[in-house]
Amino acid sequence: MVIIFDASGSMAMSMDATPEEIMRWMQDKPVPGIDREPRRITLAHQSAKHIIDDVPNDMDISLIAAANCHQVSATPAFLPEQRAELKKLIDKIQPVGKTALAEALEEAGKRVNGVDRDAIILLVTDGEETCGGSPCDVALELKKRKPRLQVNVVDIMNTGAGNCIASNTGGKVFAVNNTQEFNKMMNNAVKEYIPQGCD
């Protein structure tokens, strides 16, 4: 399993930001308090750490942070006994620049099998690709090469950005519209994939 964090600048925004505040922010105007808690990235951190505790012990987990164009970092696969270390790394991911979804998917695809055994990529994002790549095409190519791979997308603020990524890999989109839905949708995105009764 690979978890991709969109660590673009918009992930610093508050989940409680008003439509007017978001519009001003998108116009590069100053918006005092736009980064007040609960920030999108903070809730993503918390929810990811919760689901890691529920992932079966026979699944290794890798982490990818898409911080900016050509700034996609990836960890090796963490074994079950290393999950405390994985959680610390999750907390270190902070929003930086643009949204490099295609690049992040390419990187994630290198870290899963998806041919001889099932593989899942969980993409947590709040917006469209802004680095010039085509995540829809990348997803389609990955599925051709790795038929047992699926990408589930947690779509923060229901932007629709990950719809083609999920549909091209047989995955699903889980929309998060407010703070209360965050944990539930992250859980659903993983539990939908993990068989019942796994340790």
Task: Give yes or no for a contact between 102 and 135, defined as CB atoms under 8 angstroms apart.
Answer: yes
Angle at 93 between CA 87 and CA 94, to 5 degrees: 145
Token digits of residue 148: 């047992």
What are the Cα distances from residue 50, in Å, to 1, 74, 164, 184?
Answer: 15, 20, 27, 10
Class of 2-191 in CATH: alpha beta
Which residues are CB-neighbours of 51 under 8 A, at least 6 positions away? 186, 187, 189, 190
pTM: 0.95
- The domain segmentation of the chain, as residue ranges, is 2-191
Taking only the tens of pLDDT, the chain with its 199 residues reads 999 999 999 999 999 999 999 999 999 999 999 999 999 999 999 999 999 988 888 889 999 999 999 999 999 999 999 999 999 999 999 999 999 999 999 999 999 999 999 999 999 999 999 999 999 999 999 999 999 999 999 999 999 999 999 999 999 999 999 999 999 999 999 986 665 555 5
